[in-house]
A and B are shown apart, each in its own frame.
Chain A
Amino acid sequence: MSSALELFAQLTVNGIAVGAIYALVALGIVLIHKATEVLNFAHGDLLVLSAFSAWALIEGAGLPFWLVLPIVALGIGVVSYGIDAVIVRRIAGQPQFAGVMLTIALAFMLRGLVMMGFGTDSQSYDTPWSGQSTTVLGVTIADLSLVIMGVVFVIAALLWVFFRKTRLGVAMQAASQNQLAAHLNGVRVKRLNSLVWALAGVTAAIAGMFLAPVTLVDTALWLITLKALAAIVLGGFGSLPGAVLGGVLIGLIEQYAGVYLPDGFKDIAAYLVLIAVLILKPNGLLGDAHGRRV
């Protein structure tokens, strides 16, 4: 294989690995937005909270990664359920902007709590796959990246089955399409919305625990929310498969931009894509077109 092709393959693999994380974060945001029409800006801070909790349990308490994963995922799920049940539920019926402001406020509070509870220093912890890599056809892949891709794929598949095949999932779909109609049919909309928040919290926790060993455990991790927004917009707002596709594409675009475009483009590529998509094709790749209603 020529070196140019090898580089391209390497970039593609890296891009998919990074994109898988974006996809997972995007999935969580889309879940909540579909159910409650709240764009959750606090999602990234749930992720930060999970990363710091995992660090405290692994490095501080010395627990193995496999034990910490479910504990933190469940814990963040409960926190997330509580956030909706106690706080976010109160603003139902107010304009969308109120939801944006409230989740930004929650993001600030969560970040402040994390900084107060765990300190502001960057931390790191190891997973069972850290430092190992596999070489396939001249392309080197970190084992952790492989695991991340696998985890994201499994979660996406589980969510698909959940929303298609289970009673709860179908009820969630119904509530997200028309809350009043679902309520009249005996769906407990409020509790379902909180459950969706919990579900999204679990995905955020898993994303956080797998992202932190790749980068660092740091409060700046919340910035991934912005990348995930780009992924959501690219995939089509409100579409779960779109979120996954968008996440992977944004990951790829970033990797390619870092090598094939001039210096500095890597950091803003995702945002340029976001602007371009919203102006040229606001429905994204997989979004359903909505008519404009007066």
Chain B
Amino acid sequence: MRFDYHTRYRQGFALLRHPSDWLAYGLLAVVLLALPFFASTYLIGELGYVLILCIAAMGLMALTGFTGQVSLGHASFVAIGAYAHAWLLAQGVPFVLALPLAGVISAEAGLVVGIPAIRVSGLYLAMVTLAFSIVVEQVIGMWRGVTGGFMGMLVETPRIFGVSVGAPKYFYYVCLFVAVLVLLALANLMRSGIGRAFTGVRDSEAAAYALGIEVKRVKVGAFGLSAGITGLAGALMAHHIGYLTPDAFTLLLSLDLVLMVVIGGMGSLRGAILGAVLISFLPKGVALLKSALPDAMARQSGLEIFVAGLVLALFVLFEPMGLNGRWLKLRALFESFPLYRRDTFRRQKTYMKSERSR
């Protein structure tokens, strides 16, 4: 068993609390940094995409997992980030400047959507964001002057100080850098007063309000932050896709992002990353599964979506805390090995509580 004895005040805030954490994350960092030297170009490209999805999932987690605001339309912010970035590049803005600017533009769009978030909550907010993303998709299609409409828009090769980083190997490092930056920023933010305010608003608006938290400002701010991070992911995704069309950012992408957050486990950055990794490798897993099936079944096209639904349903029913919850349970099992009690994580029985008149 391992016991937490803090001998200094600041130990309580440390991101990595144990030498074993340092070892584990250090190893992970080394593996991630060294991968491009060993893996194939295709695999590196795919991993870069997974990292982009991790960023987007962390963005959504900041909103849904930490602040409790459901968004079913985050693909719209990915789209806004992607198009803003591509447009800025086309205007001659350098990559290092266009990337954060795309995030800022997306964040402002998020603020615009966040303002109705003050008035509506729960299901209603989910529907507003859903409708918003459909409207954005159409607007992008119609606004030919800037976005190229349904014909699409070519994204220029990314260059950092004149050096092209378009090759998957280099672009992977760009994605890794941004992902780590976002991860550290969010992890630190969640330990600060602002992050605590987010969690407070999620758990009880009334209590948060009574404690002097400006609930409205926190909600809108969380929307802006989340949209900004998702916009960054969109800007990187623009390079991954290479040619932007509105149908790259449909409802399905929004639902995929929500899937990542829910399957990963609400309210944890580790969950967002685990969820993004699982969801992006799910189609590959299904493809493997298909090769094992008889030919007639393998040619059917509905299997991917069926498996995605099945995985989601199983998680909602049997592991509502997601992959992160499973991870915590495993860790508790190992840390307290002979003394592990399953009831530590037993869910309390709850009765139907109406959310109708909230």
Contact = CB atoms under 8 A, between A and B. Distances in A.
Interface of A: 37, 39, 87, 90-98, 100-102, 104-117, 120, 179-180, 226, 229-230, 233, 237-238, 263-264, 267-268, 271-272, 274-275, 278-279, 282, 290-294
A180 B353 CA distance: 10
Contact of A111 (B297, B305, B357): B305
Contacts of B301: 115-116, 120
Where chain B touches its partner, the secondary structure class is: helix
Contact of B317 (A102, A272, A279): A102
B319 to A, nearest CB: 12
Interface of B: 70, 116, 119-120, 122-124, 126-128, 130-132, 134-135, 138-139, 141-142, 206, 255, 258, 262, 297, 300-310, 312-313, 316-317, 320, 349-358
Nearest to B252: A108
A230 B302 CA distance: 28
Given A96-B122, A105-B313, A275 B142 contact: no
B287 to A, nearest CB: 15
A179 B352 contact: yes
A44 B103 CA distance: 35
Given A105-B310, A106-B313, A264-B142, A226 B134 contact: yes
Nearest to B311: A105
Contacts of B307: 112
A116 B128 contact: no
A184 B116 CA distance: 40
Contacts of B124: 233, 237, 278, 282
B126 A100 contact: yes
Nearest to A39: B123
B101 to A, nearest CB: 27
A249 to B, nearest CB: 16
B306 A93 contact: no
B139 to A, nearest CB: 8
A179 B352 CA distance: 8
Nearest to A34: B356
A292 to B, nearest CB: 7
A12 B134 CA distance: 25
Contacts of B255: 104
A108 B302 CA distance: 9
Given A109-B313, A293-B357, A264 B127 contact: no
B256 to A, nearest CB: 11
Nearest to B317: A90
B138 A100 contact: no
B355 A294 contact: no
Nearest to B132: A275
B300 A293 contact: no
B193 to A, nearest CB: 24
Contacts of B309: 104-112
Contact of B302 (A87, A115, A263): A115
A6 to B, nearest CB: 29
Given A97-B122, A111-B302, 17 more contacts: A92-B352, A93-B349, A93-B353, A96-B123, A98-B316, A101-B316, A110-B309, A112-B305, A116-B300, A226-B134, A237-B124, A263-B142, A264-B142, A275-B132, A278-B120, A278-B124, A279-B119
A90 to B, nearest CB: 6
Contacts of B119: 278-279, 282
A116 B116 contact: no
A109 B304 CA distance: 9
A100 B70 contact: yes
A279 B116 contact: yes
Contacts of A292: 357-358
